Amino acid sequence: MEMNHYTGIILAGGAGKRFGGQDKGLISFKGQPLIEHALLLTQACCQTTVISANRNLALYQSYGIPVVPDVDPGFQGPLSGIKACESIIQSKWTLVIACDMPHLNLPLLNRLQAELKASHCSAAVYGQNDILQCGLFAFENNRVTDLSTYLSTGNRSIKGWLREQTLLVLDEPNPVYFTNLNSPDLLTSIEPG
């Protein structure tokens, strides 16, 4: 429904420190690499998908979509990955999804896209009790506070950058959808009810 107006960026460029340095996008969860779940979602609701990655570039490129490494070396964080993708984004809006959130589903993404498009806000994210779920958010490309300026001050926080926008926070009572598989123990996390 909203796909013609959105580019999807999948964030897979982290150092994976809590996973012993493994590339989280390639870790298997329920029989498939985490990146494949994220790809299924973004390809169902975005006109174009881009993977932000800093390792295993050839493997990510084998999925047949653009793969963009950070411009700055040393795993500078997800905003650096988004900044690196800016030059190839042609859409009005961008949807960002972390590669390590296998409980996300298409209705959540569609709602975020539709409500941002219908609002007068420049960015949208889900939240619970004042906690922003920054593994999934969307923004209107020409209305956001300049990302280069934010990064040039040494800031790296997605939450901090989002709070500088005209931000729409959508309520979603089930936090399990936003579980990041940040450690090997969470690979056995429960399914959302």
Is 193 domain-assigned? no
What is the spatial distance between Cα 94 and Cα 82, in angstroms, rounded to a whole number? 10
Both tokens of 46, joined, read 């975005």
The pLDDT score that the predictor gives to residue 7 is 95
The number of domains in the chain is 1
Indicate the pTM of the whole model.
0.89
The pLDDT score that the predictor gives to residue 29 is 86
CB of 106 closer than 8 Å to CB of 44: yes
Among candidate residues 100, 101, 150, the one with its CA nearest the CA of residue 123: 150
The pLDDT score that the predictor gives to residue 187 is 54
Give the domain CATH number at 29.
3.90.550.10
* Domain range for 105: 3-188
User: Which H or E run contains 78?
Assistant: helix 78-85
The pLDDT score that the predictor gives to residue 53 is 94
In sequence order, the 6+-apart residues with CB closer than 8 A to the CB of 82 are 9, 11, 52, 94, 96, 147
What is the spatial distance between Cα 69 and Cα 82, in angstroms, rounded to a whole number? 10
CB of 50 closer than 8 Å to CB of 42: no
Is 121 domain-assigned? yes
DSSP-derived 3-state class of residue 81? helix
Indicate the burial class of 100 (C-beta count within 10 angstroms; 0-12, 13-18, 19 or more).
Answer: buried
Is 167 domain-assigned? yes
The pLDDT score that the predictor gives to residue 130 is 84
The pLDDT score that the predictor gives to residue 118 is 95
CB of 89 closer than 8 Å to CB of 1: no
Place of tokens 């490309």: 141
Task: Count helices and strands (H / E) in the chain.
Answer: 6, 9
Is 19 domain-assigned? yes
Mean pLDDT by 10 residues, the chain (193 residues): 79 66 84 94 96 94 94 79 90 95 95 95 93 95 84 91 96 90 56 43
Is 74 domain-assigned? yes
CB of 75 closer than 8 Å to CB of 46: no
